[in-house]
Amino acid sequence: MPHYNRRKFLKTGLASMAATAAGPVQAANKPMNVLFIAVDDLRPELGCYGASHVQSPHIDRLASQGTLFNRAYCQQAVCSPSRTSLMTGRRPDSTRVWDLETNFRDTIPDVVTLSQQFMRHGYHAESMGKIYHGRTRLNDPQSWSVDAWFPNNPAYQTGEGQAIFKNRGDRNGLPVEAPDVPDNALQDGATADRAVQALRRLKDQPFFLATGFFKPHLPFVAPKKYFDLYNRADIEPADNPLPPKDSPEWAWAKWGELRKYWGMPQEGPVSDAQARELIHGYQACVSYTDAQIGRVISELDRLGLRDNTVIVLWGDHGWQLGDHGWWCKHTNYETSAHAPLIISVPGQQPGVTNALVEFVDIYPTLCEVCGIPLPEGLEGDSFQPLVEDPEHPWKTAAFSQYPRSIPGIGRGMGYSMRTDWYRFTEWSAPGNDFRAYELYDHQRDSQEDVNIAGHSANAELVKQLTRQLHAGWQAARPAR
């Protein structure tokens, strides 16, 4: 896999695309619609983020017409806590959702979710695909005007894939499959079909249309034509296969999610051949989902709704593709917490910002852009000023967290803070004096290969960052 700088943005390429795009103008006296696009396990490795080896033309075009956030961070790098945090505008310690099983209606039952707030102000809110984690108990009926819709397409399409999946009981099937099938034979193609139909049905009323795509989540199954966009022989495994030096082993990713798939090692690394196959499958799934996003946005354009619709696209967290020898997410490292975020607002000038933004900021931003009042209790800030001016002074830090079982200590939590220069993490455990630290200098070590928290020369810096971390997100907020 070619190396790329996640903070680098190909401004010239996007400026060229933006020059060919018609500038949107908001229709007068109409409520602003919202097309809310979620993508599962999408890391910011796309053409618009400088990764020219990835085929993502439709997402790239959206970026060229809106604002691309080079440094957007989720609040916890796993599906349910991240999505719950985004949809409630609250951080995991406030939602008390740190796992895949807890329902936020059990912990904060009266919270008003993002789409629910739009419903309270005259919008039709509809969900298709994966927005919350889970189809039943973890989905939230109060958030939608009608029952949430989920595709029922089987994950595997070939006889081999179906047989392996059927015979593995509580474990998963093939990690990668490339069936020669139409796009809508798989879940995300069916979701795009449904979204297109919904746009036609809702075009004459204010809507909040949430469209959640499953890929590139495991298993990496996409129609063969998307695999054909890439040459596996050209794919190289990650160039930093070792864990960060001097970092605690219990902070690392164990990637048990991938180990459940057929042929994956139960311990130790994957082979180079397996790494190439997995990266190939991931990239094919990104291109497959990109095509479905393109279909939905094209229909929005065809219906004449683009000049009155805010589009926001986000991946729920990052994803490791062999970085540090890890796969999946489930860490506090940059590869897990850093995620793509794009917003397109009618009438805006396209732009790119390096400001530090957080997923809890999406809720207040959409409300402000659409003229919806903010409910009490939100823990983010509207980044509308960055849409108007990408260089606007902004937050001094973004915050994430992840729980861990710490040997000899018990259940602990890592609180991680991304500043302009550093990623700093403090590990602690309730009722215990235990503390452990990680510090990565992103000016000199953008891949977080060396933990420098224990270096004597950094003792005062660690104290300073500890004070900043403990001051919390409130102290990092932008001046308005």
Residue 465 inside a domain? The answer is yes
Domain that holds residue 430: 398-475
Q: Is 81:87 a contact under the CB 8 Å cutoff?
A: no
Residue 4 inside a domain? The answer is no
- Both 384 and 402 in a single domain? no
- Both 364 and 280 in a single domain? yes
- Both 405 and 323 in a single domain? no
Mean pLDDT of 366-381: 98
- Both 196 and 306 in a single domain? yes
Q: Please tell me whether residue 38 adopts helix, strand or coil conformation.
A: strand
From 328, 356, 388, give the residue that closes a domain. 388
- Per residue in 207-242, pLDDT (tens digit) is 999 999 999 999 999 999 999 999 999 999 999 999
- Both 301 and 349 in a single domain? yes
- Per residue in 10-64, pLDDT (tens digit) is 333 333 333 333 333 444 578 999 999 999 999 999 999 999 999 999 999 999 9
Tell me what percent of the residues of the chain surpass a pLDDT of 90: 91
- Per residue in 392-428, pLDDT (tens digit) is 999 999 999 999 999 999 999 999 999 999 999 999 9
Altogether, the residues listed in the chain come to a count of 480
**Which long-range contacts link 20-26 to residues 24+ away (Cβ below 8 Å)?**
21/61, 21/64, 21/65, 21/350, 23/347, 24/65, 24/306, 24/307, 24/344, 24/346, 24/347, 24/348, 25/307, 25/346, 25/347, 26/307, 26/308, 26/346, 26/347
From 369, 388, 407, give the residue that closes a domain. 388
Residue 317 inside a domain? The answer is yes
**What pLDDT does 15 receive?**
36
**What pLDDT does 479 receive?**
85
Residue 363 inside a domain? The answer is yes
- The Cα 461–Cα 435 span in angstroms is 16
**What pLDDT does 480 receive?**
72
Q: How many domains does the chain have?
A: 2
Nearest to 306 by CA among 341, 348, 340: 348
Which residues are the active-site residues? 79, 133
